[in-house]
């Protein structure tokens, strides 16, 4: 396993384990429905990172491999953090506007980075020699 593959798998496992711990804390969140969605998203994102880490040898990024791996990990963690933060505050109040704006920037930035990294993964797949 190369260093990038190891880091992707480790980041995925860490996100998966954090999501499991988050699942125990769901009743403590202000917005339980959003906390449940954040938990499910983090579980899926962690599993996806592990799968990408295992499939990494099938992809050919050449010099940009570390950049795309970091972008993928960062985007999935940003989305998980944005959802978790939005579950922390009630839906009304003065603080909600600031938190909503922060979550929008974090969530949209993470989604854009995720889209860019997934497109890079899609175009980097080596054609099969069947």
In a domain, 57, yes or no: yes
Angle, helices 65-88 vs 32-55, to 10°: value is 170
In a domain, 98, yes or no: yes
In a domain, 84, yes or no: yes
Q: Dihedrals φ, ψ of 125, to 5°?
A: -65, 135
* pLDDT score for 128: 52
Q: What range defines the domain where residue 40 resides? A: 3-124
Longest dimension (CA), the chain: 60
**Residue 17 or residue 123, greater confidence:** 17
At 117, list the tokens. 């990294």
In a domain, 129, yes or no: no
- The CA angle 46-49-54, to the nearest 5 degrees, is 130
In a domain, 24, yes or no: yes
- The domain total for the chain is 1
Average pLDDT over residues 94-107: 66
Using the predicted structure, report yes or no on whether residue 71 has a pLDDT greater than 90.
no
At 41, list the tokens. 């998203």
CB 70 within 8 A of CB 11: no
CB 51 within 8 A of CB 72: no
Q: Which are the contacts of 41, defined by CB distance < 8 A and separation ≥ 6?
A: 79, 80, 83
Q: What is the pTM of this model?
A: 0.75
* pLDDT score for 89: 75
């Amino acid at each position: 396993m190369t260093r990038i593959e190891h880091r992707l798998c480790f980041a995925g496992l860490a996100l998966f384990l954090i999501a499991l711990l988050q699942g125990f804390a769901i009743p403590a969140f202000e917005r339980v429905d959003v906390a449940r969605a954040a938990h499910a998203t983090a579980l899926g994102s962690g599993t996806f990172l592990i799968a990408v880490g295992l499939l990494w040898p099938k992809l050919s990024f050449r010099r940009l491999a570390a950049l795309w791996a970091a972008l993928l990990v960062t985007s999935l963690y940003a989305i998980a953090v944005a959802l978790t933060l939005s579950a922390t505050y009630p839906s009304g109040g003065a603080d909600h506007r600031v938190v909503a704006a922060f979550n929008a920037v974090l969530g949209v930035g993470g989604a854009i980075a995720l889209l860019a990294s997934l497109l890079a993964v899609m175009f980097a797949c080596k054609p099969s020699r069947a």
